[in-house]
Structure 1
Amino acid sequence: SKGADTEKIILNKLKFVPCQECAKMSDDGGCLVDDDMQEVYKKIKEADAIVLASPVFFGSLSAQSKMMIDRFQCAWRARYILKKDNGYKKIPGAFISVEGSDRMDFFENSRAIAKNFFAVINASYKYELFCSSIEAKADILARPDYLKKAFDLGVKLST
């Protein structure tokens, strides 16, 4: 929003495998598996901010989001085991999530995973937006309050 250059990464369009916890990584803390995640690592390292967006399924992130996050095990290993700079600069982050019921407690596990992910990539968990009672994609269009909150979050993140 507000003129920021943004790029949306749609995980379903990427070809990548889950983390195998092989403990093999490049000297810069990167994963050695050669798939579409290499571009994701690069884009996040170059980003000035990050927004993670995922629906909640059974109290957790989508499988695609969790699989992507798990692939940052190499960055976690570099930072916390090898005590090396994993190449991610300090950036602000936001987490946006939708869920079909009106139970706000269903967001708790996803929030914890997002916070852990942001810590590994050196992003500060600055903002969150949880949208309950959103079952289908089109449901969000009937909620101008959520759309305004998302827009405002983008403005804050880009300033």
Structure 2
Amino acid sequence: MVKIIAIHGSPRREGNSSTLLKQAVAGARQGGAHVEEVVLRDYTISPCMEIYACIKNGQCAIRDDFPEILEKLEASEGIMLASPIFFYSVSAHTKIFMDRCQSLWVRKYWIEKQELGKAHNTRKGLFISVGATGGKKLFDGALLTVKYFFDVLSASLWKTVLCRGVDRKGEVNGRADVLQEAFAAGRELAKALQIEDGYK
């Protein structure tokens, strides 16, 4: 059975992005995947302190809850990440976690000396996001950030579910189209991983 990690990056426990992520999780489970959910606000994760102790072995020197989530990430074939938009990027909880993955960047590109942009992606990533406005470029900053975050995890940005014009808690429940899109994306991710990995 393929394994997927679903990361909730919202500061709200029952936020709109988390509601969509739960739909994707339900779809992936229906599609036959094992999905483990991680709510970042429940963990103690320090920002990257740029100590660069990671240049020795690719491991972060800060002792907190980050390695626990990293272990789950590295054991997964698929990644679901959900975050609302803050100032045209991801939430602080999400960005802090991403920045701690700098140790993985060091491991991949400094220690292992892989060529930038030429590494083979072994994972697939789904990004789910919600923003309050209807701006054309609302998700541009977050998408660029997520693309390169997924890269250090050897994952491609396989699919996105992006919802504009939603802000207040629970508003996304009135968007049946997006809820259905998220569910379908989760199910498709499970199936795509199964095909790629030879599961039946």
Structure 1 match to 2:43: 14
1:61–1:110 contact (8 Å) kept in structure 2: yes
What letter is aligned with 1:30? Q
Aligned length: 156
Aligned partner of 1:112 among 144, 148, 162: 144
Q: What displacement does 1:25 show?
A: 2.4
Structure 2 match to 1:100: 132
| Higher relative contact order structure (alpha carbons within 8 Å, sequence separation ≥ 6) | 2
Q: What is the DSSP-based 3-state SS (H/G/I as helix, E as strand, rest coil) of the residue aligned with 2:54?
A: coil
Q: What displacement does 1:136 show?
A: 1.8
Structure 2 match to 1:77: 106
CA distance in 2, matches of 1:39, 1:30: 13
Structure 2 match to 1:128: 160
What letter is aligned with 2:190? S
Gaps of 5+ in 1: none
Aligned residue runs from structure 1 range 1-159, under 5 A: 1=27, 2=30, 3-25=32-54, 29-83=58-112, 90-159=122-191
1:91–1:122 contact (8 Å) kept in structure 2: yes
- Provide the alpha-carbon RMSD of the alignment: 1.6
Q: What is the DSSP-based 3-state SS (H/G/I as helix, E as strand, rest coil) of the residue aligned with 2:85?
A: strand
Gaps of 5+ in 2: 1-26, 115-120, 192-200
2:55–2:107 contact (8 Å) kept in structure 1: no
CA distance in 2, matches of 1:104, 1:6: 32
Q: What displacement does 1:58 show?
A: 1.1
Q: What displacement does 1:82 show?
A: 1.8
1:104–1:132 contact (8 Å) kept in structure 2: no
TM-score by length of 1: 0.92
Q: What displacement does 1:137 show?
A: 2.7
CA distance in 2, matches of 1:57, 1:120: 23
CA distance in 1, matches of 2:35, 2:55: 28
Question: Relative to structure 2, which stretch is displaced further, 18-27 or 3-12?
Answer: 18-27
CA distance in 1, matches of 2:140, 2:177: 22
Deviations 1:95-114 (CA, angstroms, capped at 9, x unpaired): 11000011131100000000
1:26–1:32 contact (8 Å) kept in structure 2: no
Q: What displacement does 1:27 show?
A: 6.0
